[in-house]
């Protein structure tokens, strides 16, 4: 199979379907509707992975709306789904990888081969099924989150002060401070630039590698770049796109805007300038 890139095509998955574990990570970040959609139709053999239950813990102040689970809890959640440490995981959703990217990033961060299905559920024309996939539980060892791949708010501040690149992955209107539908305050981290994750895609399919490399050109000179979003979920989409473009994987500020604004002493910028 070789070295697994962060993004694979539906044709690749069809060829390797018997050699990987497929995960359906559809989410609205709330409610049970994604699971209902999974029950109606999913890639054959796909296990449903809940963003809130398996890939995050409950909101926690400056840790943001989607803090990382402990390595032990993550191992327990995946073990219950029959996903071992050595399995190759392909994850998808119905939003171009907006949610599934979190799982892929988490796994790649701890050294497990994982990739996004390019185009998600809409790109899949292979075998599908209904109902729940019942996989046998496996013992899975916990692997610590590598400190070099994640940062906190103070490290974001220090990186900006040193002239480093920090990328806000949210849509432009939220970065500008024109609207904020989720978090308590609108705006962005002073010094951050805006590269919305959704612009990695055209009709839910990732842009060609050369276009991604051009899009993330500002990161070329900063192998320690940082990405963030609203709660550390869609920032992972940008992180995977950066890696696909051939650059070093950026670090992720998991607390993101929700964690930043939970501290009233943190400065806030609005408008088009960093």
- Cα–Cα distance, 227 to 220 (Å, whole number): 14
- Cα–Cα distance, 246 to 147 (Å, whole number): 22
- Cα–Cα distance, 195 to 210 (Å, whole number): 16
Q: In 28-40, which positions are buried (b, 16+ CB within 10 angstroms) versus exposed (e)? A: ebeeeebeebbee
- Estimate to the nearest angstrom the gap between the alpha carbon of 241 and the chain centroid: 10
Instruction: Exactly one of 49, 75, 229, 245 is catalytic; name it.
Output: 229
134, 147, 148, 240 from 216: Cα distances, Å: 40, 23, 21, 12
- Cα–Cα distance, 11 to 255 (Å, whole number): 35
Contacts of 74 (CB under 8 A, 6+ apart): 54, 55, 68, 106, 142
- The residue among 88, 109, 128, 271 whose CA lies nearest residue 193 is 271
Our answer to whether residue 23 is catalytic in this structure is no
- Cα–Cα distance, 9 to 254 (Å, whole number): 27
Contacts of 1 (CB under 8 A, 6+ apart): 16, 19, 88, 113
Active-site residues, by number, are 229
């Amino acid at each position: 199979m070789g070295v697994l890139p962060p993004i694979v095509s539906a044709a690749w998955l069809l060829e390797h379907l018997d050699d990987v574990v497929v995960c359906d990570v559809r989410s609205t970040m709330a409610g049970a509707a994604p699971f209902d959609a999974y029950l109606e139709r999913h890639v054959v053999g796909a296990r449903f992975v809940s963003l809130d239950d398996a890939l995050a813990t409950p909101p926690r102040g400056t840790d943001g709306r989607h803090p990382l689970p402990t390595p032990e809890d993550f191992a327990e959640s995946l073990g219950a789904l029959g996903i071992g440490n050595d399995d190759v995981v392909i994850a998808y959703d119905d939003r171009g990888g907006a949610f599934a990217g979190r799982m892929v990033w988490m796994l790649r961060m701890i050294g497990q081969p994982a990739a996004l299905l390019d185009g998600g559920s809409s790109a899949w024309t292979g075998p599908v099924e209904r109902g729940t996939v019942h996989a046998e539980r496996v013992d899975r060892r916990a692997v610590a989150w590598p400190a070099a791949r994640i940062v906190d708010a103070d490290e974001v501040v220090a990186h900006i002060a040193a002239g480093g690149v920090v990328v806000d992955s949210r849509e432009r209107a939220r970065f500008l401070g024109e609207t904020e539908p989720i978090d308590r305050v609108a705006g962005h981290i002073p010094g951050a630039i805006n590269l919305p994750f959704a612009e990695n895609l055209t009709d839910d399919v990732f842009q060609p590698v050369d276009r991604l490399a051009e899009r993330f050109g500002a990161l070329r000179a900063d192998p320690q770049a940082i990405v963030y979003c609203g709660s550390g979920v869609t920032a992972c989409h940008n992180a995977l796109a950066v890696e696909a473009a051939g650059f070093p994987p950026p670090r992720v500020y998991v607390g993101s805007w929700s964690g930043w604004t939970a501290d009233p002493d943190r400065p806030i910028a609005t408008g088009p300038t960093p």
